[in-house]
Structure 1
Amino acid sequence: MTSQTAPVTFDAFRTIDLRGAKLSAAELRAAMPRSSAASFESVAGRVEEILDSVRTRGFAALSELAERFDGVEQSHPRVPVSALKQALTELAPEVRAALEESIERARTFAQAQKPEDVTVDIRPGAVLTHRWVPVGRAGLYVPGGLAVLASSVVMNVVPAQAAGVESIAIASPPQKEFGGQPHPVILAAAALLGIDEVYAIGGAQAIAAFAYGVHGDADKAPIEPVNVVTGPGNIYVATAKRLVRGVVGIDAEAGTTEIAVLADDTAQPRLIAADLISQAEHDPNAASVLVTPSEELAAAVRAELSVQVAVTRHRERVETALSGPQSGVILVNDIEQGIAVCDAYAAEHLEIHTAEAATVGARVRNAGAVFVGEYSPVSLGDYCAGSNHVLPTAGTPAFASGLGVHTFLRSMQVIDYSAEALREVAGHVVNLARAEDLPGHGDAVKVRFDQH
């Protein structure tokens, strides 16, 4: 992909120079490149209207929204099981093999994540158990707009199955060119994983259908509400997930993709350029950021971008993403400051292209996933690393985690005391209840030892 002639520098990939700057934590976060094209606040009103419409008008609203956003007529969004089976039968063998490999690796990692229950004898007869229980039903969103993310079927379904979720439903946008059904590869991936409840619903309306459920009638089977909604999507999907949180659980606000690369002068510019492009091709609002103390490396990466962007398939989309305010080079004094910048940025995907990359990567606190060294590109994680590609974005990795088995589990505390164990602590309960002016709490203990 490289050229033998001197390439033209990719000037649209802007520079933020933080060398010598002494910034507070708040100032550093504010200096990070972010998209101004769309924000939660800018779309919240429209998303609220969609949520309310689906919540109050059910299938009628879903049909109207399918025609409005996807250009398809729809009486009921559920995909027939026969269509799922047909998609799997017609799936290209090489794609099936790739999906099967992805599933196997993801399942191995997911099964290892499941925590064990813990039982502790606090005192004789005083037994506490921390018990993990899967949610009863999960609604999984799979994007199908600019990119057909069949891999997201794997990333959503495998950890839910590993957690033991008994009822799993998938929603993905209807495609006009496929008769109003989701893309056949998405349907095939669902069938390969044994999922037969799939809906042709896209965007915020899919999140609404899962969160609130849709009442059925004599002609239409209902869509039952779920306990947890997961999956990546655009700003509308991410905003919808934010707005229904509390009605249902969510994994994280996995919005428009982003990559940051922390690199020093040992890095290979052509690899960094290729990785920046790989995420920029997702969406015009995708973010691609290089953090480096090396001006020479930054210049070399720009030169490689000029060469590689010119021949990439989705050139216009990539150029828009790389030229946006959400992308660019951040120049730092050294790798130490680079780590601080990466923590302030809190990237969805963070690649480490430095000397002693594993040591540097281990010091990062805020990232959805960290990819160590030049042979661990983000695209590996997108498909076949075994890790999950449904990750928090827009700075939320500072407090949110990527999708995993834990997303579909909740913990319960089980308290099992004998009479003697309760008697041992009864006086303390009574005294604390009096101190809080809640005497009934103490009475509920004393009554168990009253002589009748």
Structure 2
Amino acid sequence: MKIVPVEKFNLQREVDYGTPEQNEAVKTIVRDIKAEGDAALLRYTEQHDRTRLTADTLRVTAEELQEAYQHVEPSFVKAIAAAANNIRAFHMREKRNSWMDLQSDGSILGQIIRPLKRVGVYVPGGKAAYPSSVLMNVIPAQVAGVPEIVMMTPPGTNGQEGIDPHILVAAAEAGVHEIYRVGGAQAIAALAYGTETIAPVDKICGPGNIYVALAKREVYGAVDIDSIAGPSEIVVLADEKANPVYVAADLLSQAEHDEMASAILVTPSQAFAEAVAAEVTRQLTLLPRQKIATSSIVNYGAIIVVESIEEGISVVNRLAPEHLEMMVEDPMSYVSKIENAGAIFLGPYSSEPVGDYFAGPNHIIPTNGTARFSSPVDVDDFIKKSSMIYYSKEALLENGATIMELARHEGLEGHARAIEVRLQQEGKVEINNGQ
């Protein structure tokens, strides 16, 4: 793992929005799904997933959900249920309520909060199956009160039984009943525009590969999306007292996700940097996903040596990582200085997988430096807000002239006259007929 001084490290990671060929392929798929519906959906599923389906076999049946329990260990069911409880408890604290404020002049101002009606969640099934993503997508939507949640996940490559049973069990435990065995860009297009079998949704959430990310970008506007997710990222800020074995393991926990995942250590200690580099090399030889993790470490991994923890914090804020671990003495004294990070893990026992699976906060987190302006998925992603204005006669008579002044300043006479006619009817002003 390369060790570099901070002045020689490029802190600006380029955002990958796919090759021209990938973008064109996604545009074609989206266009065809929109125009042809099920026919295109089935064609692309056979082409890309090597699975031949019919409109009648797109949807996972209730019997299949129950049968999936026969193919997982009882310990997994217990673990997924415990994780679901923690995630639900965390997101329950995020719930908002509608509110109204009665003004002294009789006017009422307020905000009405409603859940989205129908949401689509995408659960990857490519390099690995991610039952935890089912919970992270579905539970905040349920807490928000979304009445219709539909899940898309790839069918695998061995026919309609190809969905990993752990994903199906996680869906069943989370209470999802509408599931389709469709993946890739075609799944996103079907959620956005609908087909004869699949009704369109209002919003699409969930991570996926580059084709899924590009498809979400392509359909945005027809529907809302959570984000355009990039490869996973971790930054560990550590001092010389941290455990190099822990740090190396946590860097590799993200490197094994994807060849393009980013794993970076920031430290003021050259000796500690060398110890972690040696430990990463040792642990890599023991990792089942060694090839993927090695590619990630070689191409997107680094150890940045800084002058101090304070300079390290500055580096962290510029990187704006998806995951930040703070393995420093008294991490709570530094956390208020962290401005840009999707999720912050404090201390040696708050390993990133604790957040990925069990603690409660959502693991769908902004990547590619977008933590500068965006947040992890939460209940707010699944609600919409309407402003409410009840203006009393007293308030309009008092403020009407001011409203007209602002409207006429912008050259919008019709706006001004909409107020003026009311004031005229109340005998407060003579109507202006443009003479």
Shorter-chain TM-score bucket reads over 0.9
Q: Provide the residue aligned with 2:417 in structure 1.
A: 443
Q: Provide the residue aligned with 2:35 in structure 1.
A: 56
Is 1:280 aligned to residue 255 of structure 2? yes
Deviation at 1:449, TM superposition (A): 4.3
Q: Provide the residue aligned with 2:395 in structure 1.
A: 421
Q: Provide the residue aligned with 1:385 in structure 2.
A: 359
Separation in structure 2 between the aligned mates of residue 436 and residue 403 of structure 1, nearest angstrom? 39
Is 1:141 aligned to residue 122 of structure 2? yes
Separation in structure 2 between the aligned mates of residue 361 and residue 60 of structure 1, nearest angstrom? 52
Q: Provide the residue aligned with 2:206 in structure 1.
A: 231
Q: Provide the residue aligned with 1:8 in structure 2.
A: none
Q: Supply the AA of the counterpart residue of 2:391.
A: Y
Separation in structure 2 between the aligned mates of residue 227 and residue 412 of structure 1, nearest angstrom? 16
Q: Provide the residue aligned with 2:430 in structure 1.
A: none
Q: Supply the AA of the counterpart residue of 1:269.
A: P
Separation in structure 1 between the aligned mates of residue 142 and residue 252 of structure 2, nearest angstrom? 33
Question: Residues 425 and 88 from structure 1, CA distance in 2 versus in 1: closer, same or farther, beyond 3 angstroms?
Answer: farther
Q: Provide the residue aligned with 2:180 in structure 1.
A: 199
Is 1:171 aligned to residue 145 of structure 2? no
TM-score, length-scaled by structure 1: 0.89
Asked if the contact 1:230–1:250 (Cα under 8 Å) also holds between the matched residues in 2, the reply is yes
Q: Supply the AA of the counterpart residue of 1:280.
A: A
Asked if the contact 1:88–1:189 (Cα under 8 Å) also holds between the matched residues in 2, the reply is no
Q: Supply the AA of the counterpart residue of 1:349.
A: H
CA offsets per residue over residues 412-450 of structure 1, 9 Å max, x none? 100011222222211212222222222221221232344
Separation in structure 2 between the aligned mates of residue 179 and residue 430 of structure 1, nearest angstrom? 64
Of 43, 47, 66, which aligns to 2:26?
Answer: 47
Separation in structure 1 between the aligned mates of residue 70 and residue 88 of structure 2, nearest angstrom? 23
Of 282, 299, 303, which aligns to 2:274?
Answer: 299
Equivalences for 1:181-200 in 2 at 5 Å?
Answer: 181-200=162-181
Instruction: Tell me the secondary structure at the aligned position of residue 341 of structure 1.
Output: helix
Asked if the contact 1:128–1:416 (Cα under 8 Å) also holds between the matched residues in 2, the reply is yes
Question: Residues 121 and 40 from structure 1, CA distance in 2 versus in 1: closer, same or farther, beyond 3 angstroms?
Answer: farther
CA offsets per residue over residues 325-360 of structure 1, 9 Å max, x none? x21112212111111111111111111111121222
CA offsets per residue over residues 43-98 of structure 1, 9 Å max, x none? 32222222222222222222222122211111132112221122135432100111
Q: Provide the residue aligned with 1:71 in structure 2.
A: 50
Q: Supply the AA of the counterpart residue of 2:111.
A: H
Equivalences for 1:111-126 in 2 at 5 Å?
Answer: 111-126=92-107
Deviation at 1:126, TM superposition (A): 1.4
Separation in structure 1 between the aligned mates of residue 97 and residue 333 of structure 2, nearest angstrom? 30
Separation in structure 1 between the aligned mates of residue 412 and residue 33 of structure 2, nearest angstrom? 44
Separation in structure 2 between the aligned mates of residue 451 and residue 323 of structure 1, nearest angstrom? 76
Separation in structure 1 between the aligned mates of residue 329 and residue 97 of structure 2, nearest angstrom? 37
Greater shift in the superposed pair: 268-277 or 232-241:
232-241
Q: Provide the residue aligned with 1:401 in structure 2.
A: 375
Asked if the contact 2:160–2:181 (Cα under 8 Å) also holds between the matched residues in 1, the reply is no
Equivalences for 1:25-40 in 2 at 5 Å?
Answer: 31-32=10-11, 34=13, 39-40=17-18
Instruction: Tell me the secondary structure at the aligned position of residue 365 of structure 2.
Output: coil
Equivalences for 1:310-389 in 2 at 5 Å?
Answer: 310-324=285-299, 326-389=300-363
Separation in structure 2 between the aligned mates of residue 61 and residue 75 of structure 1, nearest angstrom? 11
TM-score, length-scaled by structure 2: 0.92
Instruction: Tell me the secondary structure at the aligned position of residue 192 of structure 1.
Output: helix
Q: Percentage identity across aligned positions?
A: 40
Q: Provide the residue aligned with 1:10 in structure 2.
A: none
Q: Provide the residue aligned with 2:89 in structure 1.
A: 108
Greater shift in the superposed pair: 141-150 or 120-129:
120-129
Instruction: Tell me the secondary structure at the aligned position of residue 415 of structure 1.
Output: strand
Q: Supply the AA of the counterpart residue of 1:92.
A: E
Asked if the contact 1:143–1:149 (Cα under 8 Å) also holds between the matched residues in 2, the reply is yes
Q: Supply the AA of the counterpart residue of 1:171.
A: M
Of 186, 190, 193, which aligns to 1:209?
Answer: 190
Separation in structure 1 between the aligned mates of residue 66 and residue 380 of structure 2, nearest angstrom? 30
Asked if the contact 1:73–1:180 (Cα under 8 Å) also holds between the matched residues in 2, the reply is no
Asked if the contact 2:51–2:159 (Cα under 8 Å) also holds between the matched residues in 1, the reply is no
Greater shift in the superposed pair: 49-58 or 83-92:
83-92
Instruction: Tell me the secondary structure at the aligned position of residue 201 of structure 2.
Output: coil
CA offsets per residue over residues 249-269 of structure 1, 9 Å max, x none? 111222221111111111110
Separation in structure 1 between the aligned mates of residue 222 and residue 301 of structure 2, nearest angstrom? 34
CA offsets per residue over residues 196-253 of structure 1, 9 Å max, x none? 1101111222111111111x1xxxxx21111111011122222222222212111122
Question: What residue ranges of structure 1 are gaps of 5+ in the alignment?
Answer: 1-12, 22-27, 217-221
Instruction: Tell me the secondary structure at the aligned position of residue 276 of structure 2.
Output: helix
Deviation at 1:317, TM superposition (A): 1.4
Separation in structure 2 between the aligned mates of residue 264 and residue 451 of structure 1, nearest angstrom? 74
Separation in structure 2 between the aligned mates of residue 370 and residue 235 of structure 1, nearest angstrom? 26
Separation in structure 1 between the aligned mates of residue 79 and residue 188 of structure 2, nearest angstrom? 29
Q: How many pairs were matched up?
A: 423
Question: Residues 114 and 41 from structure 1, CA distance in 2 versus in 1: closer, same or farther, beyond 3 angstroms?
Answer: farther
Separation in structure 2 between the aligned mates of residue 443 and residue 242 of structure 1, nearest angstrom? 42
Question: What residue ranges of structure 2 are gaps of 5+ in the alignment?
Answer: 427-435
Q: Supply the AA of the counterpart residue of 2:76.
A: V
Deviation at 1:451, TM superposition (A): 4.1
Deviation at 1:406, TM superposition (A): 0.7
Q: Provide the residue aligned with 1:92 in structure 2.
A: 73
RMSD: 1.9
Asked if the contact 1:264–1:293 (Cα under 8 Å) also holds between the matched residues in 2, the reply is yes
Of 14, 22, 27, which aligns to 2:2?
Answer: 14
Q: Supply the AA of the counterpart residue of 1:151.
A: S
Separation in structure 2 between the aligned mates of residue 311 and residue 320 of structure 1, nearest angstrom? 15
Is 1:255 aligned to residue 255 of structure 2? no
CA offsets per residue over residues 148-171 of structure 1, 9 Å max, x none? 100000000000000000110000
